Amino acid sequence: MIQCVMASASTQTQYPQVRLSPEDAAAPWAGSLLEKGRQGAARAAARLGLECDDPVTLVSFSSEAKFREHLGVRPIEIVAVTVADKGEIVILQPALFGLSEREQIQVLTHEMAHFIVARRVKGELPAWIHEGLAMLAAEEYEREDSWRVSLAAATGKMISLARLDTQVAMGGSAQELAYAESLSATRFLINENWAEASRGGKDPAPLARALADAKEGVAWHARLWDPDYRDRLQSRWVHSLRTFGRWISILSGSGILWSAITLLFLLAYWRKRRMKQIAQKQMEKEEAEYPEIVEPWTSEPEGWEEEE
């Protein structure tokens, strides 16, 4: 098989050399999977601003049982999992192929970002930063769900950064919040340090480059694993979530604001209808109770209608 190692025209950044497992290379989706993998790799490297031309193999499985058996663990993220030291991105076929092409490339960009960060950054990173960088690389801003994070901040239901240091994929109802918090905290950290360069914390490159830098990276690792630094970062971040603007985003983002407006309209309508019904009933009741009170000057002459 001829491997075509050609740089994508859209970017100068070196990106991981994408390969397929023998089974995938023989499958009908070989060409399209390889192409999507390359697009994801190029996109992730460009977004992170990190070059990496290590080989990475896409390995896909048709069932969750085979997927799990290959990984040796029960994955909670069930579309794809990156095993950086083995140089593999393990994919669950029905989960990935069920997505639109754009979403498939987004998933592969996310996984490629995990791979590049794992290869280029020395030493272990807090799990929330790894996840935040991958989500920013894949431009999964919608996963921030700012209302979810703001609501958790306002009600004291947040998952602490100390917990997110070791685990993001925690399963159950906490998982979505864990991802949303990881993205939110990573953006906060980037924005705090590189406000102008990062377009409001949307660009992961300044942080990724600092972490991968031989000198700066060591300083950042020491800082990020220092419990005092982490707790102070957490309190600044949580404080930033408790502003008036955030409350508006909770209300509008969650649909609570619109639900409240709709409810008010419904109440007004229902009240009006109810008042009309009461008035009608009252009139009927009065008519029944006092049949004699019929204003004589408004009643029709008897027999008037029968003639028609």
Q: Which is nearer to Zn ion, 125 or 134 (CB)?
A: 134
Give the Cβ contact number of residue 185 at 10 Å.
25
Q: How many residues make contact with Zn ion (CB under 5 A)?
A: 1
Query: Is there a contact between 40 and 16 (Cβ–Cβ < 8 Å)?
Result: no
Q: Which is nearer to Zn ion, 169 or 251 (CB)?
A: 169
Give the number of residues written for the chain.
Answer: 308
Q: Which stretch binds Zn ion (CB under 5 A): 133-141, 157-165, 199-207, 256-264?
A: 133-141
Pattern 28-67, Zn ion, x by CB under 5 A: ----------------------------------------
Q: Which stretch binds Zn ion (CB under 5 A): 68-76, 131-139, 201-209, 228-236?
A: 131-139
Residue from 58, 118, 134, 208 in contact with Zn ion (CB under 5 A): 134
Q: What is the token pair recorded at 211?
A: 């972490």
Q: Which is nearer to Zn ion, 89 or 134 (CB)?
A: 134
Q: Which is nearer to Zn ion, 64 or 254 (CB)?
A: 64
Q: Which stretch binds Zn ion (CB under 5 A): 115-123, 129-137, 216-224, 281-289?
A: 129-137
Residue closest to Zn ion (Cβ): 134
Q: Which is nearer to Zn ion, 75 or 257 (CB)?
A: 75
Q: Which stretch binds Zn ion (CB under 5 A): 20-28, 39-47, 58-66, 130-138?
A: 130-138
Q: Which stretch binds Zn ion (CB under 5 A): 10-18, 63-71, 91-99, 127-135?
A: 127-135
CB of 217 to Zn ion, least distance (A): 21
Pattern 157-196, Zn ion, x by CB under 5 A: ----------------------------------------
As a whole number of angstroms, the distance between CA 116 and CA 26 comes to: 27
- In degrees, rounded to 5, the angle at the alpha carbon of residue 146 between the alpha carbons of residues 74 and 156 is 80
As a whole number of angstroms, the distance between CA 19 and CA 25 comes to: 8
Can you say how many angstroms the Cα of residue 21 is from the centroid of all Cα atoms in its chain? 30
Query: Is there a contact between 2 and 39 (Cβ–Cβ < 8 Å)?
Result: no
CB of 166 to Zn ion, least distance (A): 14
Q: Looking only at residues 95 through 124 of this chain, which bind Zn ion when binding is defined by CB under 5 A?
A: none
Query: Is there a contact between 139 and 107 (Cβ–Cβ < 8 Å)?
Result: no
Q: Are strands 80-83 and 17-20 parallel, antiparallel or unpaired?
A: unpaired
Q: Is 89 in the site for Zn ion (CB under 5 A)?
A: no
User: How would you label 270-303 residue by residue, b for 16+ Cβ within 10 Å and e otherwise?
Assistant: eeeeeeeeeeeeeeeeeeeeeeeeeeeeeeeeee
Q: Are strands 55-61 and 17-20 parallel, antiparallel or unpaired?
A: parallel
- The candidate with the shortest Cα–Cα distance to 165, out of 208, 194, 124, is 124
Contact residues: Zn ion, CB under 5 A: 134
